[in-house]
Amino acid sequence: MKILKFTLLTLVAFGFTSCKKDASTEEKSKDSLVAKKDSAVVPEVHKEYYGIYMGDFAGKEMITPEFGEEYEGDVYKKLSLKINRITKDSVYGQSIVNGNQRPFRGVFNESTQSFILDEPGNDKTDGRFEIKLKNDSITGKWTAFNKTAVKAPLKNLKLIKKEFVYNPNFMLDENSDLIDWENPKDFKEKYTDEETGKTETYTESKNRIASDAVFKINASKQKLTEKDLKNLRKLDMEIIKNAVFARHGYAFKKPTYRYFFEQTDWYIPVSSNVDSELSPMEKDNVALLNRFIKYAEDKYDSFGR
For residue 265, being part of any structural domain is answered with yes
What's the CATH code of the domain at 150?
2.40.128.120
pLDDT band at 265; cut points 50, 70, 90: very high
Mean pLDDT of 261-286: 97
For residue 191, the cross-strand partners are 200
The pLDDT > 90 percentage for the chain reads: 76
Q: Let me know if residue 260 belongs to a domain.
A: yes
Residue 62 shares a structural domain with residue 136: yes
Q: Which of 120, 137, 162 is the last residue of a domain?
A: 162
Is the model's pLDDT at 27 over the cut of 50?
A: no
pLDDT at 267 exceeding the cut of 60: yes
pLDDT > 70? residue 274:
yes
Residue 38: which H helix or E strand, with range? helix 2-39
User: Residue 37 pLDDT more than 80?
Assistant: no
Same domain, 139 and 195: no
Q: In terms of domains, do 158 and 248 share one?
A: no
Mean pLDDT of 207-226: 97
In this prediction, residue 2 carries a pLDDT of 43
Q: Return the pLDDT at 51.
A: 97
What's the domain count of the chain? 2
Beta carbons within 10 angstroms of residue 63's beta carbon: 11
Q: What is the pLDDT of residue 149?
A: 92
Residue 84 lies in a domain: yes
Q: Are 152 and 258 in a shared domain?
A: no
Give me the mean pLDDT over the 12-29 stretch: 46
Residue 14 is predicted with a pLDDT of 40
Structure confidence at residue 40 as a pLDDT band (50, 70, 90): low
Both 135 and 213 in one domain: the answer is no
Residue 123 has pLDDT above 80, yes or no: yes
Alpha carbon dihedral 140, 268, 160, 214, in 10-degree steps, equals 120
pLDDT of 1 over the 80 cut? no
Same-domain check for residues 105 and 74? yes
Mean per-residue pLDDT for 128-144? 97
**Residue where a domain stops, chosen among 132, 162, 192:** 162
C-alpha 50: how far from chain center: 19
Q: How many CA atoms lie within 13 A of 95 on its CB side?
A: 26
Is residue 16 scored above 50 in pLDDT? no
Q: Identify whether 29 is part of a domain.
A: no
DSSP strands (E only) in the chain: 51-63, 71-86, 91-97, 100-109, 114-118, 127-134, 137-144, 154-162, 179-192, 199-209, 300-301
Same domain, 113 and 198: no
Top-confidence residue, 180 or 69: 180
Structural domain includes residue 31:
no
Read off the pLDDT of residues 90-118 as tens digits, 9 standing for 90 and up. 999 999 999 999 999 999 999 999 999 99
More confident position, 74 or 35: 74
Beta bridge partners of 95: 81, 102
* Intra-chain end-to-end CA distance of the chain, in Å: 97
Q: Is the pLDDT of residue 143 over 50?
A: yes
pLDDT for 199 equals: 87
Residue 36 has pLDDT above 80, yes or no: no
Count the alpha carbons within 13 Å of 292 in the hemisphere toward its beta carbon: 25
Q: What is the pLDDT of residue 19?
A: 46
Residue 109 within a domain: yes
Average pLDDT over residues 201-227: 96
Same domain, yes or no, for 276 and 248?
yes
Assess whether 186 and 253 both reside in one domain: yes
Q: In terms of residues, how long is the chain? A: 305
Q: Are residues 58 and 90 in the same domain?
A: yes
Residue 276, pLDDT > 80, answer: yes
- Boundary residue ending a domain (107, 137, 162): 162
Q: Which domain holds residue 142?
A: 47-162
In DSSP terms, 78 is beta-bridged to 56
Average pLDDT, the chain: 88
Predicted TM-score (pTM) of the model is: 0.81
> Span 18-42, mean pLDDT?
50
Tell me whether residue 204 is in a domain: yes
Please give the DSSP secondary-structure letter assigned to residue 42: P
Average pLDDT rounded to a whole number, residues 138-157 = 96
Is residue 23 domain-resident? Answer: no
Question: Based on the domain organization, do 187 and 136 belong to the same domain?
Answer: no
